[in-house]
Structure 1
Amino acid sequence: MIFDAVDVIRTKRDGGSLSPEQIDWAVDAYTQGTIAEEQMASLAMAILLRGMTRAEVARWTDAMIRSGERMDWSRLSRPTTDKHSTGGVGDKITLPLAPTVAACGAAVPQLSGRGLGHTGGTLDKLESIPGWRASLSNEEMLDVLAKAGAVVCAAGSGLAPADRKLYALRDVTGTVESIPLIASSIMSKKIAEGTGALVLDVKAGSGAFMKNADDARELARTMVGIGTDHGVRTVALLTAMDTPLGRAVGNAVEVTESVEVLAGGGPSDVVELTVALAREMLAAADLTGGKDPAEALRDGSAMDAWRLMITAQGGDPDAALPTPNESHDVLAPESGVLSRLDAYGVGVAAWRLGAGRARKEDPVSHAAGITLHAKPGDTVREGQPLLTLHADSADRFERALEALEGAYEVGGEPERLPLIIDRIA
């Protein structure tokens, strides 16, 4: 069935609901180049302003899934389960989480992305490991899953191509903030990935895409609804991103911290969130009677799965990671309790040090990043290092320090969101 693009735009502009046939046609026609960029931009703006019903969002997501391939893990002997995070600062959770869940009996096909702006990317972190490969064929992914129980790699070009095209358009037309379009973008890729169960880590706070918990909760509910409507058991945890996760922000420094967690140590917030998400992933996959994730971290089985996963993707888990040429300490201005450490400011500083990128094609420095010596609630002394900045060149420090102006505060009562704010199923 063929529609007139202007009629479809008018329907949504005037507050109407798009029919399943209109949605199917619009997504397919845009993917094929039949609808002009300016017309899809107009439709995206109408969706931003008018919203979508649950049925519309489900159909829009389905149309994007059908624009490409859908992966199939039926040859695996284990149930599949996956996690998606909406992104943040110091969010290295995928690194310890995937092997931990694998050590507890599930298969974890984790398609991840790269960092952009102040948020880090899982693939950038893992590429700090010499030899590790992000790009795998579907057969290679199956092979790694069979050997290690977990794979973390880049999504292929055949997965939801409609989303790739629409995402680029939203980025330049002021329509990124539309919750129906955010939710369908994330969920089309995750459902096409073929996992049987999905746990969403939806961040709220200054370092997250959603700055307040109410918006994050709405996004979480929308995504859980999409997953449920597509037969994927889906649950979401609403988690804090007002201050960075853990004590490392960057690439190699976050790999180092992740290995500490897998060795049974590491920062308490990273451990807590890893275990909480792992338990949700196992429950969603109906694997609640076996090994507990906390036990897998203690007994070394999670570390064994990590080593298998890294080796199977060409990496050397024993290799030295990149180290910075230059470091600079940021000192506490006075003695007292660190009451605030803003995730967004720290994320922008790490980006300016070279750990992130402004455009998708930009390179990143694997050695660049920030080490946090204190978190909100910690007592500090005047002149004590609060943060250590790492960079390949000392000329990176000035702009990074500008990003940190006003990002931390000593004195007063610490103001922090609880690490796990809510659970939505």
Structure 2
Amino acid sequence: MADPIPLPPKRAAKPRPVFVRGEEREASAGPGDGGVLAGAAARAGRGTMSNASGRFEREARVALDDGWGNLDEPAPRIVTTVQTDKARSVITRNDSPDISFDRSINPYRGCEHGCTYCYARPTHAYLGLSPGLDFESRLFVKPEAARLLEAELGVKSYVCQPIALGTNTDPYQPLERKMQVTRRILEVLERWNHPVTVVTKSALVVRDIDILARMAGRNQAKVAISVTTLDRRLARRMEPRAATPERRLEAIRALAAAGIPTGIMTAPIIPGLTDHETEAILEAGRAAGASIAGYVLLRLPMEIRALFEEWLAAAMPERAGRVLALVRDIRGGKLNSAEFGLRQRGQGPYAELIARRFRLACSRLGLETARRPLDTTRFRRPLDSDNQMALFGD
């Protein structure tokens, strides 16, 4: 991501309503707090149902009939817009003990996959946009990411460690097909002999098998495909613009066949909704050629709590109560817990049961769960970089 945007000096206690025209008639009366519920036609193909203001905003939108019948007509369908992110740097660093990498690159802000549960949604609030429908329809692209990356790798003090792609938003979301920012990043990493890990829900990753296979041959690349459910209907409602479960398994098969270490991620596991599929997903991934496995329990930070509750009540009303009760069970009585060491795995008997089921299935299937290290010793300046010759070639 780009340099973080400074937070406002203070946070408004509650957004002040601003009456706007052209919104849908039904204003949110639920946890969205002022967000406007979009009609079914307007949000067709989208994951969330509303566009509530972000937590830093001092104003909230409220639908109002101005006397001209503006609410009599349905709102226009939400279309995807793309803007340029004028980032000055591209490598984001972290010191979280919960994750296995200390640096990452996100070529895009926002994600058109529209996954209802996406933990990255709250980041759109830093842009003054909604973590709801804005997150999946108002996208930002970093077209200069490859150039910026090359400059950062060229700094004399840079110390090589694997770079993760796909840690916040998907590097292979639909926009990548046209923009090819992720591919250009991989080209730079390959030239510099820099290791990379990729996590995605998209079958588009197979487009870059040529690069990833060469890097994997030097133990400098591995890929993980996230499969949340094998149920096509549920996936369509929960992850509307991501690849179907079958396409993701096909991607695993293609990557593994090319000699690329490939993992199956059961992420996130949603208690009461998808946890019963854990073993089946791992078995399907292993059958497709996956050799590594991992999982993450559902997280509902910040605005995601209200957005997920809203979606769950509409899409799965018969399961909503049980799902939310189990989420609270694994989160110490709350819908989210941010403590290091617990964020990814949860706590309590139900979380322990899921962890045990996952371990037993991986052991039975021969799936690795330990982190496989990549080779950082080959990293060096390319021969054609800045017209300088490297001292040693491979």
| TM-score calculated relative to the size of structure 2 | 0.26
More helix by share: 1
| TM-score calculated relative to the size of structure 1 | 0.25
